[in-house]
Amino acid sequence: MVDYFDQPIAVDPTGNDGVGTLVPNAEFQVFAGTDLSFATPLAVYEAVSGAEINPLVSSSVGQLPQFRVEGDPEYVILKSGQFEVRLRSVFGAAKQAVADAGLGPEVVAGVLQAAGEVSELATAAATSAGSASTAATAAGDSATAAQGAVTDAAAAKAGAETARDLAIAAAAAAVAPTVEAMDARIEVKRATPLGIAPLDNQSRVPDANLPARLADSALTAKIGATVNTPAELIDTAIAKLDMRAPSTFTCAIASDSTGDGTNEWYELAWQALFASVWPDRPARVVRWNKANDAYIAPIVWQTAETPAVPPSGEVATPNVLIAQDAFNSASPVELNGRAPDVGKALTTWTSTPGAFKVASGMIYATATSGSGFNCYFTPADRTGIEIHTKALIRFNTTPSAATRSVGLYGPYITSANRILVTLTRPTTGNCTLILSVATTGGGSRTLATFPVGTIPEGTVGEYPFAIDVVGTSVSATVNGATLSGTLTTDEVTALTGTSRVGFVASVANDPDFAVKEFEARGTVTTPANPGSPAIPSIYPYATVYNPSAAGTTAAYQLARLDAMYPVRPDMLMIAHGHNYGSDSPATFLAAIDQFVDAFLTKYPGVPVWIVSQNPEFTPASGTDNSSAHNARQVALRAHARQKGWVYLPGFEAFSKRTDGGKSYVNTDGVHPAQVGQNLWRDAAVAGIRAFSRRP
């Protein structure tokens, strides 16, 4: 059997507001328990297979595997970066448990010694008994010898009884202690500084009951403090916006006059991002007032509420396309039951089954297309009397053995309630072309008759038909000629409301007949809307704190840390440099570090986002600190990388321009012009947007 270490858990006790968080993917080294300088890492192997583990890493839930260490030590030190903890092996812990139960080496040795003494006494008793038997046999007829045998036998008996008593005592000593005896021994140990200790009210062993090296005060830190990088923490914060988390979002900054206004990069960038990427999140800015040394009231950028709908009355819109059909079908299909190509229809085309077919962009007649076949459908949404219908109809005006006719309906409710323009080819004489109206109460009457020749006689042609009805006015246009008529009030009443549109044809098996296009327009009425109130967003405000102040350095924010940063932000941006005069990069970076250290002492774990400022140029007048400023910004980028901070390239947005960004900066050589602020804004939007996963 080999000794091993059971599966330790990597935990950051400072995470989750002191509740503790598991540390995934933490890498560890193992050292001997006496190697306090961590000079020689020990090889680590799988507890069962013996395969080497390199490196030793916690799982996605922070658990390390069972492992054994070369040399099978009882104690080792587990180390991750600057953090360390002492571990005891499984067998070492078992050995301690045996000792704590009162079954340590001294008890076992006592039992073995008592058993040995019992064995020796038993052997002596047996020897004495044998001597007595021999003496008795040899004595025979000697009274003196017999008396000696009796004496020896008595001694043997006494020795045997003594051996029995010792054996019983040894057996009693070898029996495991009772529960009561165990509790008594534990209580004794409990009072010992390095003995067994009770857990405190936080389920931890008190420092006084731990070896000095395991005491909390003796440890430099806890295992697994490297939970997330600043970039990962920013990603987590942006995810709250992306995924509509019902929690607050806060961003803060430390900057100077280049970021303290409504028209400058910081506020411009965040306001643009909320409008374009997160329009569903209420957003506001809280701006610092340097004169009052306090924040002003929040300024709302967007409420993200569902807008109110104002009430509106009924609206009638005339001449709206309500249906259109070009009769497109690759192979012949029934007209009956077919839906129009365009527009909503309450019903499909209705006609006598088998009478008309649709194919290749037209309706054509079959052998069953006899006398007076109506073809129609009911368009949706139309109200009132207004209707405009038109169709392109092919017709043969040559006389034949039977009368043939075709007509276009305006509104068509029934055969007794309709407006119709009809072209008729009788067996003799000329064609007739009549516009008529019919109602149930008033019968049928002619509104207009087209002159002979409106449709050429004895030919096959395609002729456009149209009917327009507006109020009491009716007009029909056929082959370019238009005639009008007037409806009575009763006729308007009879024909108002839901009606059908279509055509009528008596053209049985006529190969020259076709309807190629059909369209209907009318008045569409939108019903009255009572309106609805605005619906507030269910999500809390995202708040952008802007404590930037003109003419300041990071020392200004440092001196007002509590006032300027009243709540823990999800991220902190830092954009400083212009007001450090001729300071060296080293002096500047030390000042930035001092501010960051103080901020992170107040809010541990907040990710830092370094934003480089625009380059400076030789001013038109005054002191020229451009070289010092630009050197500081170059050093800041490298410093951010060394610190692990996220970096946003404001400087680079200017320097990539042909003139290095000079035309984007005012003549003072320091402050960006508005075009420069917009340039900086775009760089900030791109940098922040890169963390969003919204398409």
User: What count of residues does the chain have?
Assistant: 695
pLDDT digits (tens, 9 = 90+) for 460-487: 999 999 999 999 999 999 999 999 999 9
Mean pLDDT of 128-142: 42
Q: What are phi and psi of 327, to 5 degrees?
A: 55, 45
Q: What does the alpha-carbon distance between residue 109 and residue 119 come to, in Å, rounded to a whole number?
A: 15
- Is the pLDDT confidence value at 420 over 90? yes
- Is the pLDDT confidence value at 555 over 90? yes
Q: What does the alpha-carbon distance between residue 315 and residue 321 come to, in Å, rounded to a whole number?
A: 16
Q: What does the alpha-carbon distance between residue 564 and residue 10 come to, in Å, rounded to a whole number?
A: 36
- Least reliable range by pLDDT among 58-62, 268-272, 420-424: 58-62
Residue 441 DSSP SS3: coil
CA terminus-to-terminus distance, the chain:
58
Mean pLDDT of 610-639: 96
Q: Report strand pairing: 608-611 vs 646-648.
A: parallel
Q: Which two tokens stand for residue 108?
A: 């076992």
The better pLDDT of the pair 364, 135 is held by 364
Residue 548 DSSP SS3: coil
Which residues make beta-bridge pairs with 473? 470, 486
- Is the pLDDT confidence value at 211 over 60? no
- Is the pLDDT confidence value at 140 over 50? no
Q: Would you state the pLDDT for residue 572? A: 98
Q: Would you state the pLDDT for residue 236? A: 95
Locus of tokens 């109020």: 471
Q: What does the alpha-carbon distance between residue 89 and residue 68 come to, in Å, rounded to a whole number?
A: 8
Mean pLDDT of 666-694: 97
Inter-residue contact 114 to 170 (CB < 8 Å) = yes
When the pLDDT of each residue in the chain is averaged and rounded to a whole number, the result is 82
Q: Would you state the pLDDT for residue 136? A: 35
Inter-residue contact 544 to 251 (CB < 8 Å) = yes
Q: What does the alpha-carbon distance between residue 214 and residue 204 come to, in Å, rounded to a whole number?
A: 12
Torsion-angle region of 66 (φ positive above 0: left; ψ -120 to 50: alpha; else: beta)? beta
Q: How much of the chain, in percent, has pLDDT values that exceed 90?
A: 52
State which amino acid sits at residue 537. Answer: S
- Least reliable range by pLDDT among 358-362, 412-416, 573-577: 412-416
The band of 94, judged by pLDDT with boundaries at 50, 70 and 90, is: low
Q: What does the alpha-carbon distance between residue 424 and residue 430 come to, in Å, rounded to a whole number?
A: 9
Mean pLDDT of 85-114: 59
Question: Ranked by mean pLDDT, which of 25-34, 257-266, 403-412 comes out on top?
Answer: 257-266
The better pLDDT of the pair 552, 88 is held by 552
Q: How much of the chain, in percent, has pLDDT values that exceed 70?
A: 76
Could you tell me which residues come within 8 angstroms of residue 249 by beta carbon, excluding any fewer than 6 positions away? 237, 240, 241, 281, 542, 543, 570
Q: Would you state the pLDDT for residue 342? A: 82
Closest CA to 512 of 365, 330, 336: 365
Q: Would you state the pLDDT for residue 203? A: 52
pLDDT digits (tens, 9 = 90+) for 305-346: 999 999 999 888 888 888 889 998 888 999 888 888 887 656
Q: Would you state the pLDDT for residue 135? A: 39
Q: Which two tokens stand for residue 487?
A: 């409806």
- Is the pLDDT confidence value at 199 over 80? no
Mean pLDDT of 185-198: 54
The better pLDDT of the pair 370, 363 is held by 363
Q: What does the alpha-carbon distance between residue 90 and residue 92 come to, in Å, rounded to a whole number?
A: 5
Mean pLDDT of 221-230: 60
State which amino acid sits at residue 72. Answer: D
Question: Ranked by mean pLDDT, which of 72-81, 352-361, 630-639 comes out on top?
Answer: 630-639
Q: What does the alpha-carbon distance between residue 123 and residue 121 come to, in Å, rounded to a whole number?
A: 5
Cis preceding linkage at 55, omega within 30: yes
What's the pTM? 0.49
DSSP assignment string, 323-350: EEE----SS-EESTTPPPSBS-BSS--B
Closest CA to 326 of 181, 142, 89, 517: 517
Inter-residue contact 488 to 447 (CB < 8 Å) = no
State which amino acid sits at residue 180. Answer: E
State which amino acid sits at residue 104. Answer: G
Q: Would you state the pLDDT for residue 182? A: 58
Q: What does the alpha-carbon distance between residue 91 and residue 317 come to, in Å, rounded to a whole number?
A: 90
Per DSSP, helices labelled H in 140-243 are 143-174, 179-190, 230-242
- Least reliable range by pLDDT among 7-21, 33-47, 91-105, 321-335: 91-105
Which regions of 35-180 does DSSP assign to beta strands (E)? 44-46, 56-57, 67-69, 75-80, 83-88
Q: Would you state the pLDDT for residue 65? A: 87
Closest CA to 516 of 640, 358, 398: 358
Q: Would you state the pLDDT for residue 264? A: 98
Inter-residue contact 356 to 335 (CB < 8 Å) = yes
DSSP assignment string, 227-289: ---HHHHHHHHHHHHHTT-SS-EEEEEEE-GGGSSTTSHHHHHHHHHHHHT-TTS-EEEEEEE
The better pLDDT of the pair 118, 641 is held by 641
